[in-house]
Structure 1
Amino acid sequence: MPPKKKTKAAVVTATTTSTRSTRSRKQQDDASSVISVESVKTVNSTGSAKRKRAGSMSVTARSTKKAKESTETWWEEVAGCSDAEILDGEGFQKWIEDLGLDPSGMFMYLILYKCQAKTSMTITKEQFVRFMDSIGVKSNSQLLTVLSALLSDIRPATAPHPNPNFKPFYKWCFQHFKPEGQKGMPVDFAEIILQTLLDPTRYDPTWVSEEEPTKNEQFPHVDAFCEYITQSDPRPVHVINKDQFEQFYEFNLAVSWSAVEHSEDSAWPALIDSYVTWKREKYPA
């Protein structure tokens, strides 16, 4: 039986089907080609990104290592030897001299506080490196350029605008400088600490000690109070406790030199009340 002759419609249908099939295969091939190309691009892009990230991480790691080495090299210069793990009194003294600062100024107090030293008047290599890295300082010269700002940040100020950063520093100093295992600070040592911390002029890097110190205008009770606790006979106390130390700062903010703001009903420690009585007799306003 001869094959049926395709009608025009059948030919068109077959051709269309064939064309569609051909187009479909071509589209699939093209799609596969596109997918393949895109896949290669994606792989190449991913590989490139990974290489970039790896390179970036490598640079960062090298930079971190270099920065650490730089800070540690500076530590070796400050501490005086490559294997030193602490910097204590004598080391601080030499460092202060190398910086050209007055040893009676605020530098040592500042560094101990910023490094959060755990042992009295001693910082460790780890504490030093951590703090200096946090402020991006790698040498004595760089430290001197930011020293004024660091000191200003903790400088005391009286009402109506006391510095909120000073009080935590002031309270920290009592805990740091009092004898280990003791609740209070001997009055002779407390005198030095109070006259240093509550003297705003010492927070200037250019400050130098004078034979005749200037009057403390912002905290006028400091010198008189220190005279009272160290030179009275008998002394009112032999040690200053935490509450007396902290409240003395608050007292200076609230009570002027004339002490007119103070009354018997004031909730100050008994030591401060007795100081006011003594002061009114010896230094009447």
Structure 2
Amino acid sequence: VKMSLRSQTVEQQNLCHQFSEITQATPEVAASILRKCKWNIRQAIEVYWESADLCSPAVDSSAIEALFDKYKDPDDNAIGVDGLINFCNDLEIPPDDLRMLYFCYNLKAKSAVRWTNGEFVQGLARLGVDSIVKIRDSLKSMRAELTSPSKFKDFYAYAFDISRQDGQKVLDLQTAIQLWKMLLEGRFEHLDLWCEYLEKVYQKSITKDTWQLTLEFSQTVNEDFSNIDLDNSAWPVVIDEFVEYCRAKVPS
């Protein structure tokens, strides 16, 4: 491996350094994955986060079970609301922080307010963490991990599903706005206007289709909406009307 690292070009060494900075992977892992991806760093990062072949660090399973027992509901073999609050207090992270939603995502939890024994124990094992300190440290890499477009898209879809009220197919508008402000900050130039329009004009619940297409819209719309042709639009009505709302506020 050392020979292969020394034989890299300067450009390849720089790519390895960038890869390791983002993922915290070792230089050897960085070089191996980048080589497999023909030195395409964006593709390599996605492969790194998504590959099932990457083994998690060894964990102390008894320590994970002890953590679960510490926070679980005494009347249920699951961590409920009270346990979640205590867990967040120990992490020193507010319950409504985006990092906690991301933690749920990594647990593959089906509820944001109830974690089963299997979700918690298996989730921590996958993450390679077995203590509060290690969990807190693992969440520090959230922003770096979400630089992967496919991982962010998957997390974004998960946020909708886990935030719906039981039995509901749509998302309450205020919940959706709160999530968008966390998820799309720095990603959607018109985020403030979008939330303003939804609160003042739209005032309806958000469907899964609208949720998903909002992400696509945020990634493709020009700053001045010049690439949106309302006469031949394939966007849902809510987005078309949002564009009209914005154009009316700032006449060309």
**Residue 125 in structure 1 maps to residue 117 in structure 2:** yes
Change (3 A) 1:283 1:148: farther
Is this contact kept in 1: 2:72–2:80, CA < 8 A?
no
**Residue 169 in structure 1 maps to residue 155 in structure 2:** yes
Extract unaligned runs of 5+ from structure 2: 1-57
Aligned to 1:195: 181
Change (3 A) 1:88 1:276: farther
Tell me how far 1:231 sits from its aligned partner: 1.9
Extract unaligned runs of 5+ from structure 1: 1-63, 156-161, 200-215
CA distance in structure 2 between the partners assigned to 1:150 and 1:132 by the alignment: 15
- SS of the equivalent of 1:260 reads coil
Amino acid at match of 2:137: T
Please give the per-residue CA displacement for 1:22-63, whole angstroms capped at 9, x wherever unaligned. Answer: xxxxxxxxxxxxxxxxxxxxxxxxxxxxxxxxxxxxxxxxxx
CA distance in structure 2 between the partners assigned to 1:117 and 1:194 by the alignment: 20
Amino acid at match of 1:256: N
Match of 1:250 among 185, 195, 216: 216
Aligned to 1:221: 190
Match of 2:168 among 178, 182, 207: 182
Aligned to 1:30: none
Tell me how far 1:122 sits from its aligned partner: 2.1
Q: What RMSD over aligned residues (CA atoms) do the two structures have, in Å? A: 2.4
CA distance in structure 2 between the partners assigned to 1:284 and 1:109 by the alignment: 39
Amino acid at match of 1:260: S
Is this contact kept in 1: 2:73–2:83, CA < 8 A?
no
Please give the per-residue CA displacement for 1:177-234, whole angstroms capped at 9, x wherever unaligned. Answer: 11222221121111111111222xxxxxxxxxxxxxxxx4x312222111111122xx
What does 1:32-51 correspond to in 2, within 5 Å?
Answer: none
Amino acid at match of 1:222: L
Match of 1:240 among 193, 206, 217: 206
Please give the per-residue CA displacement for 1:98-148, whole angstroms capped at 9, x wherever unaligned. Answer: 212244421221121111112343211211100111222110111222222
**Percent of paired sites with the same residue:** 26
Change (3 A) 1:255 1:73: same
CA distance in structure 2 between the partners assigned to 1:169 and 1:284 by the alignment: 36
CA distance in structure 1 between the partners assigned to 2:61 and 2:103 by the alignment: 19
Aligned positions, number: 194
Aligned to 2:79: 87
How high is the TM-score relative to the length of structure 2? 0.69
Match of 1:231 among 195, 200, 206: 200
CA distance in structure 2 between the partners assigned to 1:115 and 1:275 by the alignment: 35
CA distance in structure 2 between the partners assigned to 1:86 and 1:243 by the alignment: 32
What does 1:141-180 correspond to in 2, within 5 Å?
Answer: 141-155=133-147, 163-180=149-166
Is this contact kept in 2: 1:112–1:122, CA < 8 A?
no
CA distance in structure 2 between the partners assigned to 1:120 and 1:101 by the alignment: 15
CA distance in structure 2 between the partners assigned to 1:89 and 1:283 by the alignment: 45
- SS of the equivalent of 1:164 reads helix
Change (3 A) 1:219 1:90: farther
**Residue 74 in structure 1 maps to residue 67 in structure 2:** yes
Is this contact kept in 1: 2:73–2:79, CA < 8 A?
no
Amino acid at match of 2:193: A
Change (3 A) 1:192 1:87: same
Change (3 A) 1:93 1:256: farther
CA distance in structure 2 between the partners assigned to 1:80 and 1:118 by the alignment: 16
Change (3 A) 1:92 1:183: same
Structure 1 stretches of 4+ moved >3 Å: 80-84
Is this contact kept in 2: 1:76–1:84, CA < 8 A?
no
State which drifts further: 79-88 or 97-106.
79-88
Change (3 A) 1:277 1:101: same
State which drifts further: 187-196 or 243-252.
187-196
CA distance in structure 2 between the partners assigned to 1:100 and 1:263 by the alignment: 47
